[in-house]
Amino acid sequence: MAGMKDYVNAAVGSNREQIEFHVKEILKLIGEDVEREGLLETPARVARMYEEIFAGYEVDPRDVLGVTFDEQHEELVIVKDIVFYSQCEHHMAPFFGKVHIGYIPSGKIAGLSKLARLVEAVTRKLQVQERITSQIADILAETLSPHGVMVVVEGEHLCMCARGVKKPGSKTITSAVRGQFHRNAAARAEFMALIRD
Catalytic residue check, 73? no
Are the C-beta atoms of residues 57 and 11 closer than 8 Å to each other?
Answer: yes
Catalytic residue check, 88? yes
Are the C-beta atoms of residues 20 and 27 closer than 8 Å to each other?
Answer: no
Residue 182, marked binder: no
As a residue count, the chain comes to 197
Catalytic residue check, 157? yes
Catalytic residue check, 100? no
Are the C-beta atoms of residues 43 and 25 closer than 8 Å to each other?
Answer: no
The single residue of 129, 135, 147, 180 carrying the catalytic annotation is 129
Distance CA 154, CA 80 (A): 11
Catalytic residue check, 91? yes
The single residue of 51, 88, 100, 135 carrying the catalytic annotation is 88
The single residue of 159, 161, 182, 190 carrying the catalytic annotation is 159
Residue 91, marked binder: yes
The single residue of 25, 41, 74, 89 carrying the catalytic annotation is 89
Catalytic residue check, 22? no
> From the CB of residue 162, how many other CB atoms can be counted at a distance below 10 Å?
13
Residues marked as binding for Zn(2+)?
88, 91, 159
Would you please indicate which residues are annotated as catalytic (active-site) residues?
88-91, 129, 157, 159
